Amino acid sequence: MTIWILLALVALAALLPLALALWRPRAARGRREADMALYRAQLTELDREREAGRLDEAGHRAARLEVQRRLIAAADQSEALATTARGGGAVLLLVPMMIAAGLGLYLLRGTPGMPSATYAERAAVMARDEQILAMLRARLEALDPQSPQARQGWILLGNAERGRGRSEAAIAAWRRAIEAHFDASLAAEIAELEIERGAPAEATPWIARALTEVPNDPRLRFLAGLVEVESGRPANARALWQALLTDTPADAPWRGMLERRLNALP
């Protein structure tokens, strides 16, 4: 009986931090907030580019659809966090019930003698996933590299590689997509990933090229400043972000984020 009491205490100790975090939720901020703000700003900038005649109707419509897709995805993530926060009190009440249910289920159906997955089994799963991606690469290689199907396939492959934490493979796939058709938003994705992996110098050409197509894009201008920060040039970052702040409308939802980043510079 003593062992079960100890197990219950261990389970309670493991779940207590989660319960406390949900009981006192904090507003979701950070990259998701910045993404949503920048995507909204991109929509406004696309409308300006079309009105100025620098973007045709078809290109404007396609670009808006892509930005709206990303905005909806970011909003869904934020709503999920908000829903979790609102349910914090209920979760706190359910913690003891979760512990009791878990112990009861374990007593009825538990198999403590079952060994964990072996290294060979885990390696087999990884090998299977890699085989699937290899098949996708082979099929993409067989397509016309300039075709829309190949371009979309490379984008999806890059997304999959990024999801697996393989930055270099993701960038390589996205490069193939850009070879078919340059896309400033995809170039921004590559630049952001280069910055994340600690290679700001590699991000610079992508940002520069994308800015030639959409010179007032706030996301690209923000990333340009971020490159300077990561390269140890805060004065340059301040100049770039200050210029961006000057061009930012007073009611822009991402203005506060930009001001905070400016104030955080040394």
Exposed (0-12), middle (13-18) or buried (19+): which is 10, by Cβ within 10 Å? exposed
> Hunting for tokens 């905070």 — which residue is that?
260
Answer yes or no: is pLDDT of 144 > 50: yes
Residue 59 reports pLDDT greater than 80: no
Give me the residue label for tokens 């067989």: 142
pLDDT at 131: 83
Q: How many CA atoms does the CB half-sphere of 15 hold within 13 Å?
A: 18
Q: How far apart are CA 223 and CA 116, in angstroms?
A: 44
CA distances from 228 to 37, 157, 240 (A): 21, 30, 9
Instruction: Name the residue with higher pLDDT: 64 or 88.
Output: 64
Winning range, highest mean pLDDT, from 18-22, 89-93, 140-144? 140-144
- Asked if residues 214 and 184 have their Cβ atoms less than 8 Å apart, the reply is yes
Q: Return the pLDDT at 171.
A: 96
Q: Contact, 38 vs 255, CB < 8 A? A: no
- Burial call 43-65: b when 16+ CB within 10 Å, e when fewer: eebbeebbeeeebeeeebeebee
Rg of the chain (C-alpha set): 24
Say what the pTM is: 0.57
pLDDT of the residue at 182: 95
